[in-house]
């Protein structure tokens, strides 16, 4: 029955919300767009049933999560720098 209603489905390429780091590592959240075309209707987009308060709460939570990820990346970068500096400062072991 569903095959009678659906004309085509287009699945787009995945995208990272924050792009890529300098080393090529993906950052952020992975998302993918899917378009569903119904016969006699065309591209169907489901309406957003959330209230304005729910949308604002989700936006604030997403911004907070992005700040936390940025902070965590900075902490890890500083940790890696200290670790590599310490490894360079120590003389090689002679066995």
Structure confidence by residue, pLDDT tens digits, 12-63: 999 888 778 788 888 778 889 999 999 988 998 888 888 999 999 999 998 9
- The HSE-up count of residue 22 (CA atoms within 13 Å, CB side) is 2
Is-contact 30 14, C-beta < 8 A?
A: yes
Query: Is the pTM here over 0.75, yes or no?
Result: no
Q: What is the DSSP string of the chain?
A: -HHHHEEEEEEPPPEETT-B-TTS-B-S-EE--EEEEETTTEEE-------HHHHHHHHHHHHHHHHHHHHHHHHHHHHHHHHHHHHHHSPPP--
């Amino acid at each position: 029955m569903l095959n009678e209603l659906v004309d085509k489905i287009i699945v787009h390429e995945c995208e990272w919300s924050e792009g890529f780091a300098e080393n090529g590592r993906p950052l952020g959240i992975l998302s993918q767009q899917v378009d569903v075309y119904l016969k006699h209707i065309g591209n169907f987009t489901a309406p957003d049933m959330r209230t304005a308060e729910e949308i604002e709460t989700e936006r604030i939570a997403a911004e907070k999560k992005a700040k936390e990820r940025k902070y965590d990346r900075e902490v890890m970068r500083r940790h890696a720098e200290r670790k590599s500096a310490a490894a360079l400062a120590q003389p090689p072991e002679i066995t």
